[in-house]
Structure 1
Amino acid sequence: MGTVSLSDTWVYALRLPHDPRAARVARMTVRAALDGHGRHELLDTVELLACELVTNAYRHTGGPCSLRLTALDDGRLRVGVWDGDPRVPAPFAGPHGGRAVPAPPGAVGGRGLHLVQEYADSWGAWSLGDGEGGGLPGCGAGKLLWFETGSPGPRPTA
């Protein structure tokens, strides 16, 4: 009988409705996927940043969003959140290296993209336009905000 070798690369995709509970479902999904793959060292960061992007999609659009987790073969994890609004928020719309302005003390919101820039190893966005067939299967138009975390190199052992 042969031995089964598990792949270090994997992808999970989740379509979330426009619902205030979507961020919680995203957090639970991230936790389950990373726990299941022994990627505990990324859990807190990915859970926080994915939740921030899903929350932004809920707050700033009127439709569903999608969360995609991709384990890359060099040990990094890429997380993308798609929503139907093609407008890419500043500073993601500018040249890479533009920085989000931290929210003033006492502000209720405005920290999500700043957190992504502070804690992700890399990040970016693509506008997919406002017409149909924006380039991502099943997503149509809109935008994709993404980040990567986990330094390149051999995958840590669980």
Structure 2
Amino acid sequence: MVTVAPPDTWTYALRLPHDPRAARVARMTVRAALSGHGMAHALDTVELLASELVTNAYRHTKGPASLRLTALGDGRLRVGVWDSSPHVPAPFGEPPAARVPLAPADAEGGRGLVLLRQCAESWGGWSFGGGDAPPSPAGAGKLLWFEVQGQG
């Protein structure tokens, strides 16, 4: 009998409509995928950060978004969120040491990108649809991504 080991690399992609429930659907997808691949130690961080990016896509655009989870094979997990706005916010369009403005203490939002800087190992962003921008199968917009250590 031959035992087949699951591959070290995998990708899940989810297209999300412009809907206030999209962040919840993204969290459920992250939880299912990471639990199924034995990445429970990264679950809370990835769920939080993916939810923040999907929420920002909903709040700051009028179109759909996409979530992509990719195990890179060396224990790292990359999470990307595409949306229809070409604007790449700091810290994604800046070097990793770039300062992200702090939200006022009484603000209801504005902490997601600060959390990303504190919890992710690396991050980046690309704007699509103009100049020297890379091509995007989804059309104009941007892709924001972050990486965490997926294996404990």
| Alignment partners' CA distance in 1, 2:121 and 2:99 | 14
**Equivalent residue number for residue 13 of structure 1:** 13
CA contact (8 A) 2:96 2:122 kept: no
TM-superposed CA distance for 1:134, in Å, is 5.7
**Equivalent residue number for residue 105 of structure 1:** 105
Say if 2:147 is the partner of 1:141: no
The count of residues paired between Structure 1 and Structure 2 equals: 151
CA contact (8 A) 1:31 1:43 kept: yes
TM-score by length of 1: 0.89
Q: How does 1:38-57 map to 2 (within 5 A)?
A: 38-57=38-57
TM-score by length of 2: 0.93
**Equivalent residue number for residue 64 of structure 1:** 64
| Alignment partners' CA distance in 2, 1:90 and 1:105 | 20
| Alignment partners' CA distance in 2, 1:34 and 1:91 | 25
| Alignment partners' CA distance in 1, 2:54 and 2:118 | 17
Q: How does 1:78-117 map to 2 (within 5 A)?
A: 78-117=78-117
**Equivalent residue number for residue 150 of structure 1:** 149
Which stretches in structure 2 are left out of the alignment for 5+ residues?
none
Letter in 2 for 1:122: S
Which stretches in structure 1 are left out of the alignment for 5+ residues?
none
RMSD over aligned CA atoms reads 1.7
| Alignment partners' CA distance in 2, 1:28 and 1:78 | 17
| Alignment partners' CA distance in 2, 1:20 and 1:135 | 28
TM-superposed CA distance for 1:140, in Å, is 1.2
> Percent identity, aligned pairs only?
69
